[in-house]
Structure 1
Amino acid sequence: MSRSLLTPDSIDNRREPRYPVAWPARLRIATGQEIDVKVRDLSDNGIGLRSDHPIPQRDRFELVLGVPDLLDPRRLQAVPGTMSVAFLVMSHGEWRLGGTWADLTPPARKLLDQWIQKIKYG
């Protein structure tokens, strides 16, 4: 009997769909230093990031997303939040970090929900 192994990025491991985006973001690490990363996907309850720079192992990260304005995508809005880490791996020459939202303000939650709806339904 063959058994398929699921990778951390496998859609089968997720409870909800993730939607691809290409937004800038910054992670704050324990030393107070910030690491530039890219948001690669998001969902109602989670986020996927990638980085060319090493990311230290932690349970949570504070981050600030550069979320495009819904009416003028050339304008970015700084959206702060905290994520709980589900996985951190090196894959194809880049660090990949995925997790769930641990803390988002109501305005941040609303803006991300609006973006998911826009991506989902156009």
Structure 2
Amino acid sequence: MTTPPEDVDALFDAPAAPPAPVLPTNPILGGAPSADGRKEHRVKVSWPARVQLPSGKVIELRVRDLSESGVGLLTEFHIPPSTVLNFVVGVPGLHEPTKITPVTGTIKTTYVVVQGRDLCCGGMWVSLPAEGRDILDKWIRRLRK
């Protein structure tokens, strides 16, 4: 069962969720520094997502990796660094991959680099409700095995 597009669209019209604090790195999930100096190792994914730009425009993109502190995005649109964005990602079910759960939050972009015709953009969590964090943490643990 998938989430209908109109339900995902409605997420951007819903009132903003109260910000939840971003939790510190969880050593159980592998919080040791990586080769590029990051505190967490990224896990590769390819999940559909949307962000709402400060202008109000909503763009579709893909999450290419994630960690406890943020996400790596792949897009055709330029998103400037240090931009705070409303964010929603369609996360497949751990045991039922066709069941998609929308996870919403707020990210702040950290960098943008060109990769072919696409732009790779990094985002750090500004807010991520506990339920969404729990879903993402379960995927991170599974993909790190």
CA distances 1:67-95 after superposition (whole Å, capped 9, x unpaired): 01111011111110111111022222101
TM-score, with length taken from structure 2: 0.71
CA distance in 1, matches of 2:115, 2:35: 16
By percentage of residues, which structure has more strand? 1
Deviates more, 1:104-113 or 1:89-98: 89-98
CA distance in 1, matches of 2:97, 2:132: 16
Corresponding position of 2:4: none
Give structure 1 stretches of 5+ with no counterpart: 1-9
Alignment of 1:79-98 (within 5 A): 79-98=103-122
The code of the aligned residue for 2:127 comes to D
Corresponding position of 2:61: 37
Corresponding position of 2:50: 26
Corresponding position of 1:61: 85
CA change 1:31–1:106 in 2 (3 A) is same
Aligned to 1:12, what secondary structure does the other structure show?
Answer: coil
The code of the aligned residue for 1:98 comes to G
The code of the aligned residue for 1:33 comes to K
Percent identity of equivalent pairs: 35
Report how far residue 16 of structure 1 moved: 1.5
CA distance in 1, matches of 2:113, 2:50: 18
Report how far residue 59 of structure 1 moved: 2.1
CA distance in 2, matches of 1:56, 1:82: 14
CA contact (8 A) 2:84 2:106 kept: yes
Is 1:50 matched up with 2:74?
Answer: yes
TM-score, with length taken from structure 1: 0.84
Aligned to 2:133, what secondary structure does the other structure show?
Answer: helix
> Which residue of the other structure, out of 95, 98, 118, is the alignment partner of 2:142?
118
| 4+ aligned runs moved over 2 Å, structure 1 | none
Deviates more, 1:16-25 or 1:58-67: 58-67
Over the aligned positions, Cα root-mean-square deviation in angstroms equals 1.6
Aligned to 2:97, what secondary structure does the other structure show?
Answer: coil
CA change 1:112–1:63 in 2 (3 A) is same
